[in-house]
């Protein structure tokens, strides 16, 4: 029968639906699913093999190198924080590097990107220098925001990186605006809007994604689901388990990806970015990930078990990439050690640069301030 049948509607009494259990879950135990251990002799999946063929040896190694740079940069950042060379809030991306790196290699240089305060990984992956990033945290004038933003507010006009943002969900309308601009001017840019799972219950998320769907804006909304918003397990604050399914509410595509697999992040982001560029339809992507450190450098992270943390560390995105590249014969232990040594030296150099850089002058106090 055709959907628009003229048959009179049924008048029978609607069945009473049993109310859904809405009582909030009170258990403080983490409900996090622990990842399954990868087998030692894993056969490369067809999809992974295809991605590696597409990227080739050099690029694949370059991607691993970038993840390692981000890791080493942030390890030193912690030390610099402890030495009080860095002040203010400081949130590390350790464990989540695959998302930023996969994305950076999948996007075009002039596509927009915006994220939360957990922004070091994106800045470096987009090609900002370790020097300007470290100097920013040192509060030096050579920093990417002239030392006025600090860890949470990295920014680069050249890279179309619209910054790190301190207000949870505050960057979502900003990224939506960038998508609006691209559409209005008829450029073919896509706007990549990243935020944590803690932001998806904010009004700014719902208003932005709704508008992007209605106006067909070239925006991709990516939830970095690291399972915790500060010390709160996601299952205690979000009503559904598969977060990307919220896409249904906006009539857009929703999908999940393994946020600890750089090649999967690359493949999914590449597909979605190209699709979005062509169709100007937004989508909601959930990157399933985990942060190995506390919410910020001052959080010991006591709300999760050691067993859970270790299980995710066993799925470390860098080790995983190293293993894959070793399996295909593109990398050996010596190569890895050499790359590690190189990136460590770059980070040390960025500390030296920051130490030696001048502080902003007093006149700077009122410059570049818009409120």
Ligand X SMILES: Cc1ncc(C[n+]2csc(CCOP(=O)(O)OP(=O)(O)O)c2C)c(N)n1
The residues binding ligand X (CB under 6 A) are: 116, 118, 166-168, 196-199, 224, 226, 228-230, 295
Nearer to Mg ion, 289 or 321 (CB): 289
Least CB distance to Mg ion at residue 229 (A): 5
If the CB atoms of residues 104 and 135 are measured against ligand X, the closer one turns out to be 104
Strands (E), the chain: 112-116, 161-165, 191-196, 219-225, 228-229, 232-233, 253-258, 283-288
Instruction: Give which of Mg ion, ligand X, none residue 166 binds (C-beta under 5 to 8 Å, depending on kind).
Output: ligand X
Interface region with Mg ion, contact rule CB under 5 A, candidates 69-77, 134-142, 189-197, 315-323:
189-197
Closest CB 223 distance from Mg ion, rounded Å: 9
Nearer to ligand X, 48 or 124 (CB): 124
115 binds Mg ion (CB under 5 A): no
Q: Which residues, numbered 3-62, are part of the site for Mg ion (CB under 5 A)?
A: none
95 binding partner (options ligand X, Mg ion, none; Cβ < 5 to 8 Å by kind): none
- In Å, how far are 17, 126, 206 from 10, measured between CA atoms? 18, 58, 35
259 scored as a contact of Mg ion (CB under 5 A): no
Nearer to ligand X, 74 or 360 (CB): 74
Which one of ligand X, Mg ion, none is in contact with 230 (Cβ closer than 5 to 8 A by kind)? ligand X
Q: Each residue of 64-84: b (16+ CB within 10 Å) or e?
A: bbbbbbbbbbbebbeebbeee
Going from the C-alpha of 63 to that of each of 75, 161, 329, the distances in angstroms are 19, 19, 16
Options 24-32, 168-176, 194-202, 265-273: segment touching Mg ion (CB under 5 A): 194-202
294 binds Mg ion (CB under 5 A): no
Residue 54 C-beta: closest distance to ligand X, Å: 30
Phi/psi at 228 (nearest 5 deg)?
-135, 140
The distance from CA 97 to its chain's CA centroid, rounded to whole angstroms, is 8
226 binds Mg ion (CB under 5 A): yes
| Packed helices 333-356 and 46-82: angle between N→C axes, nearest 10 degrees | 40
Query: Is residue 184 packed enough to be buried (19+ CB in 10 Å), middle (13-18) or exposed (0-12)?
Result: exposed
> Of 92 and 220, which has the nearer Cβ to ligand X?
92
Judged by CB, which is closer to ligand X: 116, or 160?
Answer: 116
| Backbone conformation region of residue 18, classed left if phi is above 0, alpha if psi is from -120 to 50, else beta | beta
| Closest listed residue to residue 268, CA positions, set 278, 257, 279 | 257
Residue 320, Ramachandran bin (φ over 0: left; ψ between -120 and 50: alpha; else beta): alpha
Q: Which residues bind Mg ion (CB under 5 A)?
A: 196-198, 226, 229
């Amino acid at each position: 029968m055709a959907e628009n049948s003229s048959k009179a509607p049924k008048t029978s009494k609607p069945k009473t639906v049993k109310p859904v259990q809405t009582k909030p879950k009170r258990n403080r135990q983490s409900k996090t699913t622990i990842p399954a251990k990868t087998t030692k002799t894993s056969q490369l999946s067809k999809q992974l093999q295809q991605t590696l063929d597409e990227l080739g040896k050099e690029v694949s190694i370059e991607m691993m190198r970038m993840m390692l740079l981000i890791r080493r940069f942030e390890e030193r950042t912690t030390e610099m924080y402890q030495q009080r060379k860095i002040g203010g809030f400081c949130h590390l991306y350790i464990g989540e590097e695959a998302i930023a790196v996969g994305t950076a290699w999948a996007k075009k240089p002039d596509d927009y990107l915006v994220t939360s305060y957990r922004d070091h990984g994106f800045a470096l992956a987009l090609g900002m220098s370790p020097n300007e990033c470290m100097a920013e945290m040192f509060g030096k004038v050579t920093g990417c925001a002239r030392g006025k933003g600090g860890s949470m507010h990295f920014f680069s006009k050249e890279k179309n990186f619209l910054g790190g943002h301190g207000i949870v969900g505050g960057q979502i309308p900003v990224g939506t605006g960038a998508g609006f601009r691209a559409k209005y001017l008829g450029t073919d840019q896509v706007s990549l809007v990243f935020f944590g799972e803690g932001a998806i219950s904010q009004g700014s998320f719902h208003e932005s994604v709704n508008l992007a769907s209605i106006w067909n804006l070239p925006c991709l909304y990516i939830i970095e689901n690291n399972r915790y918003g500060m010390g709160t397990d996601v299952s205690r604050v979000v009503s559904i388990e598969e977060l990307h399914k919220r896409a249904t509410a906006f009539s857009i595509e929703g999908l999940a990806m393994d946020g600890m697999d750089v090649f999967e992040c690359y493949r999914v982001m590449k597909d979605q970015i190209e699709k979005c560029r062509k169709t100007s339809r937004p989508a909601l992507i959930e990157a399933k990930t985990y942060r190995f450190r506390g919410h910020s450098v001052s959080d010991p992270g006591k709300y999760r078990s050691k067993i859970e943390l270790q299980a995710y560390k066993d799925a470390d995105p860098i080790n995983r990439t190293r293993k894959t590249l070793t399996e295909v014969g593109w990398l050996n232990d010596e190569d890895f050690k050499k790359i590690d040594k190189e990136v460590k030296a770059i980070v040390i150099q960025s500390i030296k640069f920051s130490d030696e850089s001048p502080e902003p002058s007093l006149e700077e106090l009122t410059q570049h301030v818009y409120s």
